[in-house]
Amino acid sequence: MAAPNASTVAHAVTPERIMQFAWGYIPPLVLEAGIRHHIFDLLDEGPKTVEQVHAANGASVRGLSAVMNALVGLDFLTKDAQEVYSLTAESAAFLVSKKPGFQGGIIKHTSEQLLPKYLKLNEIVATGKPAVAVNQEAAGAEFFEQFVVDIFPMSYPSAQVLAKTLDLEAAGRPVSVLDLAAGSGVWGIALAQSSEQVKVTAVDWPEVLPVTRRTVGRFGLSDRFAFVEGDLLAANFGTGHDAATLGHILHSEGEERSRRLLAKVFASLASGGTIAIAEFLVDEDRRGPVSGLFFAVNMLVNTDNGGTYSFAEISAWLAEAGFVNARMVAAPGPSPLILATKP
């Protein structure tokens, strides 16, 4: 039998990736443990040994050793020859809870709210029905009441880009903004911060709006916000708005409701008004990006009809509603923003 040549050996198929994925649930859980036990916050104060972290947070030395070494292996921490641990540039920027760039909010929900539903994935694939339909008010209000504040930092930089794109700082007249599925109010807050001319109407479920009110209040913007309770297809949006934001909502609505929602938004805008959509986009052939494909599975697990969509699909829905000039704007969030104009 002939020996394999160098080319065959170099391209040999191995189970390495499958073995890595067999333990793929560990990294987010290790990150969650690091966040919940304040490891990143404590190391932001300065490098520390495991014993020093133990003295500060009371967690077991055994547990901290295992988790902190795993975080070193994942390049979220470093340690020197004296077993002193430090943050990396990435963890210092995004995993310290008091910093504006903190992205650990969604990680905090991994063990109790996210993974338990995914344990039913085999059944969900068979039936096509979600574990819990969080897009329905009865089931979803409690989840989003906790969740929207934690994901504020994910959208805030993109919302600031939107404010600059709309050139709100130069506004010489009042600007009316419709913030749909407002959640924490992050989109309206960033737009209102950019100009004193901006007034925001925030629409969300009655259980979520108290969170919106509190967050808006912390930013000192309560006098420039109005609040409307209700389901998006039933609530009164009013008319004559200059801009409308749909921050990560179409994916949970599904195609039919999204198309109806876009038509309703069109009717609520003034001529020349702009709709701004933030979404986890996928390519038309759904080969990538993997974040969008993963999020489609997340919608399978958590919604009745939700999914992720391509720019071409959303552009077609916008055109159907009457919008023109659908375009993408680069933003620091998980996907570009989609903007379109009412003629």
Q: How confident is the model at residue 132 (pLDDT cuts 50, 70, 90)?
A: confident
Can you tell me the mean pLDDT for 212-232? 96
Pick the more confident residue, 141 or 169.
169
pLDDT at residue 149 above 80? no
Q: What percent of the chain has pLDDT over 70?
A: 93
CA-CA distance, 229 to 128, in Å (whole number)? 30
For the residues of 249-271, what is the DSSP string, one character each? Answer: -HHHHHHHHHHHHHHHHHHHEEE
User: What are the structural domain ranges in the chain?
Assistant: 6-95, 122-341
pLDDT on residue 112: 87
**Pair 104, 28: CB distance under 8 Å:** no
* Chain mean pLDDT for the chain: 92
DSSP 33: H
For Cα atoms 102, 105, 111, give the angle at the middle one, nearest 5 degrees.
140
pLDDT at residue 1 above 50? no
pLDDT at residue 339 above 50? yes
pLDDT at residue 126 above 70? yes
**Pair 102, 95: CB distance under 8 Å:** yes
Q: Take residue 102 and report the two structure tokens written for it.
A: 């903190």
| Residues 178-217: tens digit of each pLDDT | 999 999 999 999 999 999 999 999 999 999 999 999 999 9
Range from 62-71, 100-109, 223-232, 296-305 carrying the lowest mean pLDDT: 100-109
DSSP 110: I
Residue 178 Cα distances to 116, 194, 228, angstroms: 35, 15, 10
The values of phi and psi at residue 238, to 5°, are 75, -170
Q: Does domain 6-95 have CATH number 3.40.50.1820?
A: no
For Cα atoms 251, 254, 257, give the angle at the middle one, nearest 5 degrees.
120
The values of phi and psi at residue 158, to 5°, are -65, -40
Query: Architecture of domain 122-341 in CATH?
Result: 3-Layer(aba) Sandwich (3.40)
Task: Indicate if 122-341 has the same CATH topology as 6-95.
Answer: no
pLDDT at residue 13 above 50? yes
Q: How confident is the model at residue 134 (pLDDT cuts 50, 70, 90)?
A: low
- Beta sheet of 175-180, edge-to-edge order: 225-229, 198-204, 175-180, 241-247, 269-278, 337-341, 324-329
pTM of the model: 0.88
pLDDT on residue 9: 53
Burial of 133 (0-12, 13-18, 19+ CB in 10 A): middle
pLDDT at residue 138 above 70? no
Residue 52 Cα distances to 4, 22, 59, 60, 81, angstroms: 54, 33, 11, 11, 16
